[in-house]
Amino acid sequence: MARIRVLIVDDAVVVRRLVADALASDPDIEVVGTAANGRIALQKISQVNPDVVTMDIDMPELNGIEAVRALRPLHPTLPVIMFSTLTERGGVGTLDALAAGASDYVTKPTHAGGIGLAQQQVREELIPRIKTLAARRRVWGEPGGTGSAGVPLARRQVGAPVMGQVRPAIVAIGVSTGGPSALAILIPALSASLQVPVVIVQHMPALFTRLLADRLDASSGLTVREATAGMVIEPGTVTIAPGDHHMTLERRGLHVCVALNQSPPEHSCRPAVDPLFRSVVGVYGRRTLAVVLTGMGRDGLRGCSAIRDGGGQTLVQDEASSVVWGMPGLVVRSGLADKVLPISDMAEEIMQRVSAGVGRDETMVAAPGDVGRAGA
């Protein structure tokens, strides 16, 4: 198979060299060019035909956000990975770039302890994203393709609400690569009258999660906030796990509250989806509705298995609308998805399920011991 062709865009010579040397260590990747700003990058894309572009944000003449906006009409499927600094400005710029059509992001190594460690960090974080995004583009090609199964997946559905199924009392969402854009579609589309809480793990570093929460809060009729320890989970609120902390839920008297910890990463992630999902079904039992959106890796699979064992429900984003169908695809292939649907339909499905469930357990607050009644 042909090597993956990468164009590196950054105004700093030292960064271009750092990334190029890190990528050169992988035999499956070929650096086909570099560019010092977005304007040069747009010219080089047509010349070198890259499979993936890495893009800095702050550059002269044409910055990374402007470059992404300019290239999307011409190259709608070309993966662009933003290479940003772990700062407030870098976080805002990264979210702007993702909203403009960037595929993913990697934070630049800071205080890595030397050039060798910096290159190692770039290899560990950037190379898997390059390979995953390039592989998806080769399978899907232009938007509206049929995917690896040869069937238009945008409308493939698995399962349906079961008559007599209890009404969910909470929505727990797990998401990774492509998540900010998916959440920007899903969360504002949820009704402001939503009578259940929403909790989210998005794989993101500290600072970025707060900026994401602020951005979603400004565009949504629901209250969106970054979690703090002891925060009470309430209907009509969306709570996002803070970067570098696992978020779990626990019952304290009549309330369900957030607990944060820095236990070892799971699936190389902190926050991770699995700890949240396990804790949610431990509190809410069969009244749990899990949602697994776009993302790389296996995170969320074990949590969905626990939710299935507890009698809960799981919705999964389809392959066609996912940036990466790693996390959701594993849930589907494991037989744990109650329904698979595009991100554009997810909010409506959630609203139907939280309002249409019937059964003995009808109150909107999880009752103590509910998980013990999952098989009742």
Catalytic site residue from 10, 51, 274, 299: 299
Is residue 245 flagged as an active site residue? no
CB atoms inside a 10 Å sphere around CB 94: 28
Alpha helices (runs of H) in the chain, residue ranges in sequence order? 13-24, 38-48, 64-71, 88-100, 115-140, 179-189, 208-219, 273-284, 301-309, 327-333, 343-356
Long-range contacts at 116-124 (CB < 8 A, ≥ 24 apart): 118/18, 119/18, 119/21, 119/22, 119/25, 120/22, 122/18, 122/19, 122/22, 122/23, 123/22, 123/23, 123/25, 123/26
Catalytic site residue from 10, 51, 84, 203: 203
Radius of gyration of the chain (CA): 21
Catalytic site residue from 84, 176, 181, 305: 176
The SS3 call for residue 310 is coil
Is residue 25 flagged as an active site residue? no
Is residue 299 flagged as an active site residue? yes
The SS3 call for residue 153 is helix
Report how far residue 137's alpha carbon sits from residue 340's, in angstroms, rounded to the nearest whole number. 21
Report how far residue 129's alpha carbon sits from residue 161's, in angstroms, rounded to the nearest whole number. 35
Is 123:240 a contact under the CB 8 Å cutoff?
A: no
Report how far residue 64's alpha carbon sits from residue 100's, in angstroms, rounded to the nearest whole number. 10
Report how far residue 81's alpha carbon sits from residue 312's, in angstroms, rounded to the nearest whole number. 35
Alpha carbon distance, N-terminus to C-terminus of the chain = 53
Fill in the amino acid letter for 83: F
Among residues 280, 232, 283, 293, which one has the least CA distance to residue 257? Answer: 232
Which residues participate in catalysis according to the annotation?
176, 203, 299
